[in-house]
């Protein structure tokens, strides 16, 4: 047993653990009907992905994952479910048309991803050469932050105008996502609104009914 | 730690056991901190609330001062019947306390207790702690939803609205020390406040002084403590989100609550009060540092760098714990002297007061930094905090010679060049 344990690559072990967790709970999202359980499974799945990113040493991206995706799912749960569901423990039935559509989309995406993955020539962990890394740049998040704000620090000294075009950084994508989220929020508020407002000819007759409406 | 085990205790090929042992020791120590801190704070809360209400609090268990009261309560809770309501979603109902506790415990992993004494040294520790602490609410919401009880659901909804709102000003407040020290690494933020207490960031300028109080209010709200404890609100909602819980599961919620109180207090101590740096730098005066050779002096040269540094870190740990416990005591004090706010008042306070004040203070500190206005931090500071930036120091270089072998990411000129394009 000790020899067996000594030969285990623990990095691989934890990678497998987190990957398995992510996949299993993603399947849980797919096959569950209860919407709050689905949200919980999604949180665990996304949390396991954050674990993978921490394992890869990408702490900033991992924390981003926790903050934005895991936290965002929580907000989705609260506003999406509790405001729209009108009965306790809402079950969601997926229609067969939706199944077909999503299976088609899923397979298309899978094909794309597998193709991209197989194009990677060498399957080994990235080796950082010590000459290329200066102490100032090791483990900084400044570049990512500047990139999000519109400055690609790694492209600043680029002479080639074609490549220098990338200097605008990720600002456009960032703003697009922000507007997308705004649209989603407006849509959620629209869906959560009261279905029907009382018409004018339906003025409550007595005091009790009026009280019911106002509360 | 793992390398120490591998080098001294374990035979060849057993390095996995060294890493496992080191990880277990780290996690065990942190777990001890959470559990013992919860017991101590519950006792403290009972004594303090008793005194505030002109009572004695627990007096008998354990001889004097009732210091074993929490342990007795723990045993009582373990022997209580474990109930799951018939209509509850039993899976989520059982899981919810662990979700809350895991989030609270996760934050401890990145919280340094002394210079370099931290479970996992992350260079984005502030961000990590905020992100992970935010997940504690998920446990509360799951508990409220899965209990199938109106009281619980109301509590969870209130908590959700409250916490989603208060994360905004909390983030704005935390950005201020990060901006001044130029790092999200908690160890660096605390170390850039070395020296006399004038170097603490709360004394940096009037804006940071305001920011601390806004931070403290928002932190109290985000860990769901009175006067913001609307999710429990025992006078309106029975016990809010944990109405249906009993026994051990119930106590896990409380361990999570007291754990996160400690985390936000410790974060306040590091961000605004110098962390493990005392008001007077006794440790460095006595030479209790890791300095070697010519730099070591007094006790440092007597004991050797390892022992002296260890004692210095131990002193730092003591100072950090005192500061954090003071923060928790402040929360307890607020709980037993202030009435609970209504939900609309809570939201009003967040969006109409905390967010604008934090935003204005953020811009104020920004200008203070950019214009280089004098601050008390300059008084006895060996190095201006703003010059410590992610592991390198600007004043080592001449202002004009910013071209380095690495990518150009140095000073204002580079950023201006990028901005103009």
Q: Cβ contacts (< 8 Å) between B14 and chain A: which residues?
A: 2, 6
Question: Would you state the torsion angle of the CA atoms of residues B186, B192, B193, B199, taken in this order, to the nearest 10 degrees?
Answer: -150
If you ran DSSP here, which 8-state letter would residue A198 be given?
P
User: Is-contact B365 B211, C-beta < 8 A?
Assistant: yes
Could you tell me the pTM of the whole model? 0.77
> What is the pLDDT at residue B387?
47
Question: Average pLDDT for residues B381-403, to the nearest whole number?
Answer: 45
> What is the pLDDT at residue B88?
79
Question: Average pLDDT for residues B410-421, to the nearest whole number?
Answer: 34
Residue B399's pLDDT band (boundaries 50, 70, 90)? Answer: very low
Is B15 a residue whose pLDDT tops 50? yes
> What is the pLDDT at residue B388?
45
- Per mean pLDDT, which range of B13-27, B66-80, B354-368 is the poorest? B13-27
> At how many degrees (to 10) do helices B150-181 and B206-222 cross?
150
Please tell me the distance from the alpha carbon of residue B48 to that of residue B333, in angstroms, as a whole number: 7
Is beta strand B392-393 parallel, antiparallel or unpaired with respect to B388-389?
antiparallel
| A63 and B CB contact within 8 Å | yes
Tell me how many degrees the CA angle A98-A102-A106 measures, rounded to the nearest 5: 175
Burial B75-103 (b: 16+ CB within 10 A, else e): eebeeeeeebbeebbeebbebbbebbbbb
Q: Cβ contacts (< 8 Å) between A139 and chain B: which residues?
A: 123, 390-391
Cβ distance of A156 and B407 shorter than 8 Å: yes
Residues in chain B: 421
Please tell me the distance from the alpha carbon of residue A86 to that of residue B221, in angstroms, as a whole number: 29
Count Cβ–Cβ pairs < 8 Å, chain A vs chain B.
127
- Per mean pLDDT, which range of A28-32, A152-156, A184-188, B242-246 is the poorest? A152-156
Residue A193's pLDDT band (boundaries 50, 70, 90)? Answer: low
> What is the pLDDT at residue B358?
92
Question: Would you state the torsion angle of the CA atoms of residues A103, A109, A110, A113, taken in this order, to the nearest 10 degrees?
Answer: -170
Please tell me the distance from the alpha carbon of residue A41 to that of residue A73, in angstroms, as a whole number: 10
Residues in chain A: 215
> What is the pLDDT at residue A168?
61
Most confident stretch, A122-126, B97-101, B117-121:
B97-101
- Per mean pLDDT, which range of A135-149, A186-200, B110-124, B258-272 is the poorest? A135-149
- Per mean pLDDT, which range of A62-76, A85-99, B361-375, B405-419 is the poorest? B405-419
In this complex, the residue of A5, A37, A138 whose CB is nearest that of residue B92 is A37
More confident residue, B334 or B303: B334
pLDDT above 90 as % of chain B: 12
Question: Average pLDDT for residues B296-313, to the nearest whole number?
Answer: 76
Q: For the segment B135-150, what is each residue's pLDDT rounded down to a tens digit?
A: 888 888 888 888 888 8
Q: For the segment A7-40, what is each residue's pLDDT rounded down to a tens digit?
A: 666 777 888 889 999 999 999 988 887 777 888 8
Cβ distance of B131 and A40 shorter than 8 Å: no
| A-proximal residues of B, 49-88, CB under 8 Å | 87
In this complex, the residue of A63, A70, A82 whose CB is nearest that of residue B157 is A82
Cβ distance of B145 and A139 shorter than 8 Å: no
> What is the pLDDT at residue A25?
92
């Amino acid at each position: 047993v000790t020899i067996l344990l000594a030969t285990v690559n623990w990095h691989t072990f934890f990678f497998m653990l987190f990957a398995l967790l992510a996949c299993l709970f993603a399947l849980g999202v797919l096959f569950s009907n209860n919407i709050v359980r689905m949200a919980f499974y999604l949180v665990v799945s996304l949390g396991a992905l954050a674990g993978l990113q921490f394992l890869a040493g990408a702490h900033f991206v991992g924390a981003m994952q926790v903050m934005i995706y895991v936290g965002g799912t929580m907000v989705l749960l609260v506003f999406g479910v509790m405001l729209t569901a009108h009965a306790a423990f809402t079950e969601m039935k997926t229609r067969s048309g939706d199944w077909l559509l999503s299976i088609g989309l899923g397979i298309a995406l899978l094909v794309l991803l597998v193709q991209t993955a197989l194009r990677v020539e060498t399957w080994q962990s990235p080796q950082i050469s010590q000459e290329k890394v200066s102490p100032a740049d090791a483990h900084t998040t400044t570049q990512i932050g500047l990139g999000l704000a519109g400055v690609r620090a790694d492209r600043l000294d680029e002479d080639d105008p074609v490549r220098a075009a990338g200097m605008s950084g990720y600002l456009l994508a960032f703003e697009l996502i922000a507007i997308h989220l705004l649209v989603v929020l407006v849509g959620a508020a629209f869906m959560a609104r009261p279905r029907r407002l009382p018409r004018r000819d339906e003025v409550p007759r007595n005091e009790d009914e009026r009280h019911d409406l106002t509360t | 730690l793992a390398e120490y085990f591998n080098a001294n205790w374990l035979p060849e090929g057993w390095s996995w056991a060294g890493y496992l042992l080191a990880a277990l020791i780290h996690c065990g120590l942190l777990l001890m901190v959470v559990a013992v801190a919860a017991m101590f704070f519950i006792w403290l809360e009972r004594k303090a609330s008793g005194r505030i209400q002109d009572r004695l609090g627990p007096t008998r268990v354990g001889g004097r001062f009732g210091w074993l009261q929490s342990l007795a309560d723990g045993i009582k809770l373990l022997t209580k019947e474990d109930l799951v309501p018939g209509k509850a979603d039993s899976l989520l109902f059982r899981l919810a306390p662990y979700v809350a506790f895991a989030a609270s415990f996760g934050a401890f992993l990145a919280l340094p207790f002394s210079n370099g004494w931290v479970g996992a040294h992350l260079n984005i520790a502030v961000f990590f702690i905020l992100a992970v602490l935010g997940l504690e609410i998920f446990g509360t919401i799951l508990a409220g939803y899965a209990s199938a009880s109106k009281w619980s659901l109301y509590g969870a909804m209130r908590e959700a609205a409250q916490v989603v709102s208060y994360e905004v000003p909390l983030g704005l407040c935390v950005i201020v020390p990060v901006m001044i020290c130029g790092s999200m690494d908690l160890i660096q933020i605390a170390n850039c406040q070395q020296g006399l207490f004038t170097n603490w960031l709360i004394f940096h300028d009037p804006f940071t002084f305001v920011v601390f109080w806004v931070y403290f209010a928002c932190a109290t709200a985000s860990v769901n403590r009175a006067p913001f404890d609307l999710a429990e609100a025992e006078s309106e909602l029975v016990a809010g989100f944990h109405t249906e819980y009993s026994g051990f599961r119930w106590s896990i919620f409380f361990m999570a609550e007291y754990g996160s109180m400690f985390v936000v207090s410790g974060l306040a101590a590091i961000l605004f009060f110098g962390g493990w740096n005392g008001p007077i730098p006794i440790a460095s005066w006595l030479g209790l540092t890791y300095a070697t050779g010519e730099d070591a002096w007094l006790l440092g040269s007597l004991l050797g760098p390892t022992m002296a540094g260890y004692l210095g870190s131990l002193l730092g740990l003591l100072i950090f714990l005192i500061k954090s416990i003071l923060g928790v005591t402040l929360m307890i004090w607020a709980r037993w002297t202030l009435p609970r706010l209504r939900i609309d008042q809570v939201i009003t306070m967040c969006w109409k007061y905390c967010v604008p004040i934090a935003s204005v203070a953020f811009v104020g500190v920004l200008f203070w930094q950019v214009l280089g206005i004098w601050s008390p931090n300059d008084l006895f500071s060996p190095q201006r905090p703003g010059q410590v930036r992610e592991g390198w120091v600007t004043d080592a270089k001449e202002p004009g010679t910013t071209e380095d072998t690495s990518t150009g990411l140095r000073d204002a000129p580079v950023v201006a060049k990028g901005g103009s394009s």
